[in-house]
Amino acid sequence: MYQVIARKYRPQTFSDVVNQEHVKTTLENAIAQQRIAHGYIFSGQRGTGKTTVARILARCINCVNGPTPQPCGVCANCLEAAKGGGMNVIEIDAASNRGINEMRELNQSVLQRPASARYKIFIIDEAHQITTDAFNALLKTIEEPPEWVVFILCTTEAHKIPATIASRCQHFSFRSVDFEDLMARMAWICGQEGIEADAEALAVLAQAGEGSVRDSLSALDQAIACCGAQLHAAEIRALLGMFSLESLGQVSQALSDSDSRRMLDVVDELERNGHNLQHFSRELARYFRNLLVARIAGAEGAARLIAASQVQRQSLAEVAAGFSEEDLTRFLHLSLELFRDLQYSLQPRFHLEIGLVRLVQAGRLVPIEKALAEIQGSGAGSAAEMRRPANSVPPPSSPAVVAPKPRAGPSPFEIDSAKKAAPAPGSRPPAPEGDARERLLAHLVQNGLTHLADAVENSSVTAAGAELQIVTAKTYKMYLEDRHFESAVREVFGRPLRIKITVGETGSPPAAIPAKAAAGNGADDIASKALANPEVQRFREVFGGEVRKVRNLKE
Ligand SMILES: Nc1ncnc2c1ncn2[C@@H]1O[C@H](COP(=O)(O)OP(=O)(O)O)[C@@H](O)[C@H]1O
Ligand SMILES: [Mg+2]
Ligand SMILES: [Zn+2]
């Protein structure tokens, strides 16, 4: 009878179990000391050995030579545990037996002494699926179990086990299995089965499992069914909808060349070859994740973190060196979004095209610190230089973000924050009354009261003694009668002023306000002055766009 590989090669002893060293060692030591708990929780990703270890533990406990960390494997009790159940080792799949009746039955069964072994061991798989009532029924048994009972709860979702139960169990969490160990295990199994598979083919299968041994072994079954006794990476990739580093590398190449056109070709090629675009986006996200990890940790440092062979990790690290950490973070973020979008998309091709082109655009962004540093940098370096050159990439050792150059004067941001940190309005030395409008404006803008700022901007304002005279259009009058405005005035002038609002023509400002700060020709003057400012010009060169409005906040 044909038996799937995963079951055929279920480890029978702790030493066959790959990884999970912490679990194995702790259990072995406890058994050697005859310290056997009544409740265990095994949690972790599927296919990492929970059921397997539960059965091994059952053997260790019940073996005629036991309890022993080295069960004989041939006595009746060992055989019972290995085949997954009998009178003394009872396996329950909670996914299908999750109700209160099943738990009552279980409680009954718990009360009867084991017939032919020391312990009665209950292995409950998918334990998180047990209903709340059923858990409650079970609780009493777990609280005061008969001396001959051991529960092993296996689950992928430990947080769903009620605290009342969990607190009475020893908890072991199973990790997803390391790539290299998984490769070695698969190579061994292939050897046993007489299957020829090169390292790359094994790497593809190991990657397909994403840390789950069972999933990788299922992929191996599939590959053998499809390709026979000789496995090749390319065929397996096609079978499993995976992509080689070279094909994913086209995307990173297009990114470092800032070449949107190439991206469209990539999509076209995928379509023409009948590839699944969703699979591609999933693999792309994984690719950027691996690049980011390689960029941060380096090829060697990332050995445990990247599920890839040493050669692949090396090539990932080389590609990663061509991008900054920030770039790769952005790419990963965007590719995850793309993956999510594609899952629901009725037009996967369009989504993929947009997604890849957006990646190129994101790659063109210059770090803001760098942009500011350049703007400040007393004219050294032109805007053209600042745009990332199409194919030059920073050397691997270059810091991810270029530190701002030392510069002559404070930046606009520094001026701005200095303003925000200015002493409280009350302690401010009294300013000439002529500034009233500008001071008010600055305060309103800084506090995000934009509608009031708008109103003031379109009004003329004169402070005369204890009175603030405002001439404004009818539409703004209502805003200015608001108490927010009143308190803003109090803050700006350090005392309450009587606010006198008149509706009228605001075109010609009262004499008290300096002409340049007012509307009309004065405003044009300020605007042209501002536009002539070299910093403003560099901003426009770098970021593009147009200047819509010039507001004088400095006075
Ligand atoms: N840590 C491991 N070492 C070796 N093989 C494993 C490991 N984990 C899982 N397997 C393989 O996967 C199959 C399923 O494992 P199982 O223990 O049932 O996983 P789960 O964690 O989902 O209970 C096993 O039969 C075995 O072939
Ligand atoms: Mg299981
Ligand atoms: Zn035995």
Q: Which CATH class is domain 5-174?
A: alpha beta
For the chain, 555 residues long, give each residue's pLDDT as a single digit of tens: 678 999 999 999 999 999 999 999 999 999 999 999 999 999 999 999 999 999 999 999 999 997 999 999 899 999 988 887 788 998 888 888 777 777 788 888 888 888 888 999 999 999 898 888 888 888 888 888 899 999 999 999 999 888 888 999 999 999 989 888 999 999 999 999 999 998 889 999 999 998 899 999 999 999 999 888 999 999 999 888 889 888 899 999 999 999 999 999 999 999 998 889 999 999 999 999 999 999 998 877 777 888 888 888 889 999 999 999 999 999 999 999 999 999 888 899 999 999 999 999 988 876 666 777 777 765 544 444 444 444 444 444 444 444 444 444 455 554 545 544 544 444 444 444 557 888 888 888 888 788 888 888 888 888 888 888 898 888 788 888 888 888 888 888 888 888 888 888 765 444 433 434 444 456 677 777 887 787 777 777 777 667 777 777 765
Phi, psi at residue 460, to the nearest 5°? -105, 140
H-run or E-run covering 121: strand 120-125
| Cα 155 to ligand 2 centre (Å) | 8
Q: What is the rounded CA–CA span in Å between residue 504 and residue 527? A: 25
Closest residue to atom 26 of ligand 1, CA basis? 10
Instruction: Give Dmax (Cα) for the chain.
Output: 108
Pick the atom of ligand 1 nearest to 46's CA.
22
From 213, 217, 218, 220, the mutation candidate for ligand 1 (largest count of ligand atoms within 8 A of CB) is 213
Residues with CB under 5 A from ligand 3 (ion): 63, 71-72, 75, 78
Structure tokens at 140: 């009493």
What is the residue type of 323?
A: F
Pocket, ligand 1, Cβ cutoff 6 A: 6-7, 9-11, 17-20, 46-52, 154, 177, 185, 213-214, 217
Pick the atom of ligand 1 nearest to 154's CA.
23
State the ligand closest to the CA atom of 14. 1
State the ligand closest to the CA atom of 78. 3
Residues, the chain, total? 555
From 3, 8, 10, the mutation candidate for ligand 1 (largest count of ligand atoms within 8 A of CB) is 10
β-pairing, 467-472 vs 460-464, is antiparallel
Structure tokens at 133: 């009532």
| Cα 464 to ligand 1 centre (Å) | 85
Structure tokens at 428: 């401010």
CA neighbours closer than 13 Å in the CB half-sphere of residue 514 = 12
CATH of 179-240, one of 2.60.120.640, 3.40.50.800, 1.10.8.60, 3.20.20.210: 1.10.8.60
Per the listing, tokens 């009342």 go with 164
| Cα 85 to ligand 3 centre (Å) | 14
State the ligand closest to the CA atom of 59. 3
Structural contact between residues 74 and 83, judged by C-beta atoms closer than 8 angstroms: no
State the ligand closest to the CA atom of 62. 3
From 52, 180, 188, the mutation candidate for ligand 1 (largest count of ligand atoms within 8 A of CB) is 52
Phi, psi at residue 346, to the nearest 5°? -90, -15
* CATH number for the segment(s) 245-364: 1.20.272.10
Q: Name the CATH superfamily for 430-519.
A: DnaA, N-terminal domain (3.30.300.180)
* ω into 67 cis (within 30 of 0): yes
Structural contact between residues 42 and 154, judged by C-beta atoms closer than 8 angstroms: yes
Pinpoint the residues of the chain covered by CATH 1.20.272.10: 245-364
| Cα 52 to ligand 1 centre (Å) | 6
| Cα 32 to ligand 2 centre (Å) | 25
**Residue 172, burial from CB neighbour count under 10 angstroms (0-12, 13-18, 19+):** buried
Q: In terms of DSSP H, where are the helices of 472-511?
A: 474-480, 483-493
Pick the atom of ligand 1 nearest to 45's CA.
21
Q: What is the rounded CA–CA span in Å between residue 498 and residue 210? A: 72
Structural contact between residues 460 and 471, judged by C-beta atoms closer than 8 angstroms: yes
pLDDT given at position 108? 82
| Cα 242 to ligand 1 centre (Å) | 23
| Cα 162 to ligand 3 centre (Å) | 34
How many C-beta neighbours within 10 Å does residue 189 have?
19
Closest residue to atom 20 of ligand 1, CA basis? 47
pLDDT given at position 387? 45
| Cα 218 to ligand 1 centre (Å) | 11
Pinpoint the residues of the chain covered by CATH 1.10.8.60: 179-240
Sheet with 89-93, edge to edge strand ranges: 89-93, 120-125, 149-155, 39-44, 170-174
Closest residue to atom 25 of ligand 1, CA basis? 10
Pick the atom of ligand 1 nearest to 9's CA.
27
DSSP secondary structure of 293-307: HHHHHHHHHTTTTS-
Pinpoint the residues of the chain covered by CATH 3.40.50.300: 5-174
Q: What is the rounded CA–CA span in Å between residue 151 and residue 171? A: 12
